[in-house]
């Protein structure tokens, strides 16, 4: 790692000899309020709740819902970028409703508190001879928040996390506790598996798991054209496959997982947070010269050795993301995803020299959940990122029409500009969801201004 950074500094020092200036970037400000503000992880969503509650028991939560003033929104770790959480009325944290409540060894299922962080599940499930079928690349989200937004990992044969729900329990606007599954309250179950927090507050979830398994993860920087040429085949070959494209470099990071019985092992791991800072530094110095920037980036990336790690599944899926960003992600039909990516790359590199965060591309198997972005189709997911201190809107506004042109459905927890009619056109069961929602919450107690506009 030290050698790589020394190499980077040498390249940058040579490039900095030019007298041309670096591109200036803008930063966003923050709002002030007499109330203690709530912000999401990136800082792009802000509200000033009158009441902040954190029930320790379901009975306490029921009482709080009955007595709550105004709009009620549940919050987990704040990793959603879209305005699902903000309310100036009542904000309820589920952090104290966490942990593995019970498990069924025969069925390989476990009932888990809604406020449990994904990163808190690996060890306790392994102790019960179970493991999650798949995981996303960030494990700080709460279980309920992840499921409410159809959070996903990658794998052409693997579905989003919500498809693993066997049953769930929620507290309604009337403070009543309701259970649902495929056999019991099936319509509510279909709506609640991806419910956006608009139906009630989920208290616990029963997940269909599998036996613990070990993965061999291989990460390698390659020319992006080589990655694209084999991407569809590799998606079918490996249990998990994804790749990143680094703008203005011509290079991508390919990441694969295979089931393995090899001994636990790990090569030196590239620190993605240091890497993001390096990319920002190259951008600041060299955005005026795409050719020189490409040369420097290729030099950096070619100096990074192939990484291999054999570990328990839950130790291999995720990465720490300490450099904050804002994100837009769309899920496109698998057959159209790589063409859309090509157009996104061209628009980004022709018009946005200030961008230094990579594009992320993942594969997800279709499901039958009403508001799942993967409903009835296998997908390629394309995620676009912008450093949190910079205005994301010009980039996202330029890229979003491409993703929409190919019938993309946005990730519920990521930034987008779609309206209720837009979503109604993308989801065949949109009106069915609205009907179930009205039955549970006829006065809209769980609808903040964003959700009210969607479901009006």
The tens digit of pLDDT for each residue in 157-183 reads 999 999 999 999 999 999 999 999 999
Q: Which of 209, 207, 189, 210 is nearest to 199 (CA)?
A: 189
Mean pLDDT of the region 356-376: 97
Crossing angle of helices 334-351 and 393-405, in 10° steps, is 150
What's residue 23's pLDDT? 32
How far is 51 from 79, CA to CA, in rounded Å? Answer: 21
> Could you give the C-alpha distances from 183 to 111, 143, 144, 189, in angstroms and in order?
17, 22, 21, 9
- Looking from the CA of 67 toward its CB, the CA atoms found within 13 Å total 9
Residues in the chain: 456
Tokens of 244: 């990143």
Instruction: Give the dihedral sign, CA 370/232/418/425.
Output: negative
User: Mean of the per-residue pLDDT values for the chain?
Assistant: 91
Residue 51 backbone dihedrals phi, psi, to 5 degrees? -125, 135
- Asked whether 182 and 189 are in contact (CB, 8 A), the reply is yes
What's residue 395's pLDDT? 98
What's residue 280's pLDDT? 82
Please name every residue paired with 181 in a beta bridge, in sequence order, or none if there are none.
167
- Looking from the CA of 36 toward its CB, the CA atoms found within 13 Å total 4
Residue 62 backbone dihedrals phi, psi, to 5 degrees? -60, -45
What's residue 122's pLDDT? 96
Structural domains in the chain? 100-211 (3.30.465.10), 214-416 (3.40.462.10)
Position 270 confidence tier, pLDDT thresholds 50, 70, 90: low
Share of the chain above pLDDT 90, in %: 81
Between the ranges 35-44, 63-72, 279-288, where is the mean pLDDT highest?
A: 63-72
pLDDT surpasses 70 at 17: no
115-129, 290-304, 439-453: segment of lowest average pLDDT:
290-304
pLDDT surpasses 70 at 427: yes
Position 32 confidence tier, pLDDT thresholds 50, 70, 90: very low
Mean pLDDT of the region 446-454: 98
H/E stretch holding 418: none
How far is 219 from 237, CA to CA, in rounded Å? Answer: 15
pLDDT surpasses 80 at 276: no
What's residue 271's pLDDT? 66
Mean pLDDT of the region 138-146: 94
Residues 6+ apart with CB under 8 A from 100: 110, 111, 112, 113, 116, 121, 124, 125, 128
pLDDT surpasses 50 at 149: yes
Residues 6+ apart with CB under 8 A from 456: 420
What's residue 15's pLDDT? 41
Pairing relationship of beta strands 90-93 and 109-113 according to DSSP bridges = unpaired
- Residue at token pair 């491409």: 402
Q: What is the pLDDT of residues 231-253, one digit of tens each?
A: 999 999 999 999 999 999 999 99
278 vs 336, more confident: 336
Mean pLDDT of the region 113-141: 96
H/E stretch holding 236: helix 224-237
pLDDT surpasses 90 at 82: yes
H/E stretch holding 348: helix 334-351
What's residue 417's pLDDT? 98
pLDDT surpasses 90 at 320: no
> Could you give the C-alpha distances from 454 to 196, 420, 422, 429, in angstroms and in order?
11, 4, 9, 14
What's residue 14's pLDDT? 41
- Asked whether 22 and 318 are in contact (CB, 8 A), the reply is no
What's residue 302's pLDDT? 86
What's residue 282's pLDDT? 83
Mean pLDDT of the region 204-231: 98
pLDDT surpasses 60 at 363: yes
Tokens of 164: 């693993």
């Amino acid at each position: 790692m030290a050698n790589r950074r020394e190499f980077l500094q040498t390249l940058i020092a040579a490039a900095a000899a030019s007298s041309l200036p670096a591109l200036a970037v803008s930063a966003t400000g923050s709002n002030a309020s007499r109330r203690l503000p709530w912000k999401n992880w990136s800082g792009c969503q802000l509200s000033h709740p009158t009441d902040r509650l954190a029930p320790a028991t379901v009975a306490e939560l029921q009482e709080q819902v009955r007595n709550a003033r105004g709009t009620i929104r549940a919050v987990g770790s704040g990793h959603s970028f879209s305005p699902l959480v903000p309310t100036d009325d009542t904000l309820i944290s589920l952090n104290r409703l966490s942990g593995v409540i019970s498990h069924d060894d025969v069925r390989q299922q476990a009932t888990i508190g809604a406020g449990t962080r994904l990163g808190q599940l690996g060890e306790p499930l392994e102790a019960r001879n179970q493991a999650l079928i798949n995981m996303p690349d960030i494990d700080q989200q709460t279980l309920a928040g992840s499921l409410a937004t159809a959070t996903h990992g990658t794998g052409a044969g693997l579905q989003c996390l919500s498809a693993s729900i066997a049953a769930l329990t929620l507290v309604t606007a009337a403070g009543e506790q309701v259970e649902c599954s495929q056999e019991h309250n099936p319509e509510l179950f279909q709506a609640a598996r991806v419910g956006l927090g608009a139906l009630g507050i989920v208290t616990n979830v029963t997940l269909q798991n599998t036996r613990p398994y070990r993965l061999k993860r291989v990460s390698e920087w390659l020319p992006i054209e080589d990655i694209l040429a084999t991407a569809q085949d590799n998606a079918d070959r490996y249990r998990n496959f994804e790749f990143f494209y680094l703008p203005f470099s011509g290079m991508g990071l390919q990441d694969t997982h295979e089931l393995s019985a090899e001994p636990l092992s790990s090569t030196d791991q590239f620190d993605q947070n240091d890497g993001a800072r390096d990319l920002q530094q190259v951008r600041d110095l060299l955005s005026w010269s795409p050719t020189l920037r490409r040369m420097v980036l290729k030099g950096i990336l070619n100096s990074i050795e192939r990484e291999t790690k054999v570990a328990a599944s839950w130790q291999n899926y995720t990465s720490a993301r300490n450099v904050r960003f804002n994100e837009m992600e769309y899920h496109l039909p698998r057959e159209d995803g790589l063409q859309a990516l090509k157009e996104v790359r061209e628009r980004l590199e022709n018009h946005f020299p200030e961008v230094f965060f990579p594009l992320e591309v993942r594969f997800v198997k279709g499901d039958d959940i009403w508001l799942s972005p993967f409903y009835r189709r296998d997908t390629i997911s394309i995620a676009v990122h912008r450093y949190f201190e910079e205005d994301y809107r010009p980039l996202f506004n330029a890229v979003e029409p491409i993703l929409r042109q190919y019938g993309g459905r946005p990730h519920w927890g990521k930034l987008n500009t779609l309206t209720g009619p837009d979503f109604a056109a993308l989801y065949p069961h949109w009106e069915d969801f609205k009907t179930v929602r009205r039955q549970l919450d006829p006065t809209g107690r769980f609808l903040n201004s964003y959700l009210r506009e969607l479901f009006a």
